[in-house]
Amino acid sequence: MDSNGVVEWAVVGSDIGPLLLAATGTGLVSVVFHARPEVRETAVGRLRERFGAEPVERPGSARLAEPIRQLAEYFAGAAREFSLPLDWSLTSGFNRQVLRELAAGVPYGTVVGYGDLARRVGQPGAAQAVGVAMASNPLPVVVPCHRVVESDGGLGGFGGGLETKRQLLALEGVLPQPLF
């Protein structure tokens, strides 16, 4: 496998805890919440399985410099969108279609219902499948699954936990900041 196919990863701090970021020669391929040692091991194992090569921990990776910079700006409230090359190879089919629509069509500071997102991709009855797509999102925060909520105003589920979803929506001004 050429060096382009090697997955490089690093763990970076954020307002919502440590994030594991991984990139290929194509672009950012994975963002993993709560990147404690056991979570890291599982995430790196999944990448190893999927790409058939040992991912390399490279905190100074040139591939990760821009994602790290843009995430820092996002958490500082200075950036409202990400302009990063993304590697979509960890998702496919309906899930990829939904995630791409979410990334392109649901801007900072807005939310969309699961059913609305299903309609946008031409599958009006597929709200539950949209939920499954959100749960499988390999690029949370950058592909903003935190912006997908229940039509009755409930937060819905979230792979990073509801507290993390609340924090991201508060950062974007959708929810009030917690008082303490």
Indicate the helix (H) or strand (E) that contains 30. strand 28-32
Give the helix ranges, DSSP H, for the chain: 37-51, 62-75, 93-105, 114-120, 127-135, 162-171
Apex 32 CA angle, 26 and 34, nearest 5 = 155
Q: For residue 159, what are the contacts with CB-CB under 8 A and spacing of at least 6?
A: 33, 134, 135, 137, 140, 145
Single out the catalytic residue among 130, 134, 145, 149. 145
Q: Is 145 one of the annotated active-site residues of the chain?
A: yes
Contact (Cβ atoms closer than 8 angstroms) between residue 55 and residue 44: yes
Q: Which residues are catalytic?
A: 145
